[in-house]
A = this chain, B = another copy of it.
Amino acid sequence: MAKITKVSPLAPAAFPDLPAIGGVTFATAEAGVRYAGRTDVMLACLAPGTSIAGVFTRSLTRSANVMDCQAKLGGDSTGGGVIIVNSGNSNAFTGKAGEASVAAICAAVAQATGVPEGRVFTSSTGVIGEKLPHDRIVAKIGDLVAAQSPDGIAAAARAIMTTDTFPKGSARSVGIGGKTVQIAGIAKGSGMIAPDMATMLVYIFTDAKVEQGALQAVVSRLSDVTFNCITVDSDTSTSDSLILAATGASGVDATGDKAFEDALHAVMLDLAHQVVRDGEGATKFVEIRVTGAVSDAEAKTHAMSIANSPLVKTAIAGQDPNWGRIVMAIGKSGAAADRDRLSIRFGDVLVAENGWVAPGYKEADAAAHMKGENLQIGVDIGLGAGQATVWTCDLTHDYIAINADYRS
């Protein structure tokens, strides 16, 4: 485990009040997968008719759980559904044993709940390459099923943490046709667990009624502008998973509803930002907005090149308005750029334009912006109308301490 256990300086003041979501109940347990004295399994039961959509890591070495979830999306929803998540062991790179563990958990959940195995979705996060002691989880399933409560979502947020320094939750409500629809979500990441990599898990629940195909389309589209626009260190987990469950308990059909989509977007963005705010060693939350690229895709390529550059991230840690490193990151990104059309801003301060430092630029102005906790870097490429916004954190001594020192 990491030596650094202080709460991130970028954490929200408190965990939000999350509403109960009709059609969803939660339970948590201490299964002792790896940790002692804390919960490490969460179970969410979903009412019959719940639409389930998901987005998963593109890693080619993804875990057995991820592959199983992907295969199950789009199945018959009449039997309800279950999401079961353990922390402490990621069940990744465990060969055929990994698939056996997933099968054993799904079978036990199906037997205890009556939900078909094809509607049981599992996630595991934690140590990689060690056989998941799934018997410890299976042994708790009876207790979990018995303890279901509509108010358990905050406890669930805690049970899925690994080395996260704070639990992550977000909620929005939205009025549709005179009724109210609730959306509540929890997430974990990007803490570390020896010897594993950062993993992001996200579970979002709503009592809206949305047909599965439409739900999948909206969550895929919104992931591209939220969770797929954040980066801590450019590394991709073998286990990243986002599952969105729409129970329909509100009786409100939100399929294609713009207000519902906006509210879901807000929940996803809030959770994504919280993941960045818990980036290992982070002391700065950084929004990078690129405009003027030849396409939105090229704008994102530039923005991610800036966000993932160790030289940019260390400059931010040092509170250094080092625009030369921004120029470097744009130049190497592979997307189109013209040195003499670039302009760069730190906050509201115009730093560079026309291929050179801006006339009248005073480093003290930009340096003052860099001393804040929430930074904005703006880049206009000057070539077109493409734009993108991504979020990242700085690269600090504590990142090295968390990731290099704890097993030495």
Contact = CB atoms under 8 A, between A and B. Distances in A.
Interface of A: 57-62, 92-97, 127-130, 195-198, 233-238, 308-311, 314-315, 317-320, 322-325, 327-332, 336-340, 342, 352, 354-357, 394-397, 399-401, 403-408
Contact of A400 (B58, B129, B395): B395
B315 A404 contact: yes
B404 A61 contact: no
A237 B311 CA distance: 11
Given A195-B315, A332-B59, A327 B405 contact: no
A62 B337 CA distance: 11
B354 A236 contact: no
A381 to B, nearest CB: 10
Given A324-B197, A403-B314, A96 B331 contact: no
A151 to B, nearest CB: 36
28 contacts: A61-B327, A61-B342, A92-B324, A93-B355, A93-B356, A93-B357, A94-B355, A97-B356, A129-B327, A129-B357, A195-B315, A197-B325, A198-B311, A233-B311, A235-B310, A236-B328, A237-B328, A238-B328, A310-B395, A310-B403, A311-B403, A315-B407, A318-B405, A318-B408, A320-B404, A395-B404, A397-B400, A399-B400
Contact of A235 (B61, B97, B328, B337): B328
Nearest to A407: B320
Given A235-B329, A400-B400, A61 B337 contact: yes
B327 A93 contact: yes
A206 to B, nearest CB: 30
Contacts of A401: 397
Given A62-B339, A129-B357, A235-B328, 5 more contacts: A59-B332, A93-B324, A128-B327, A315-B404, A397-B401
Contacts of A327: 61, 92-93, 128-129, 238
Contacts of A127: 324
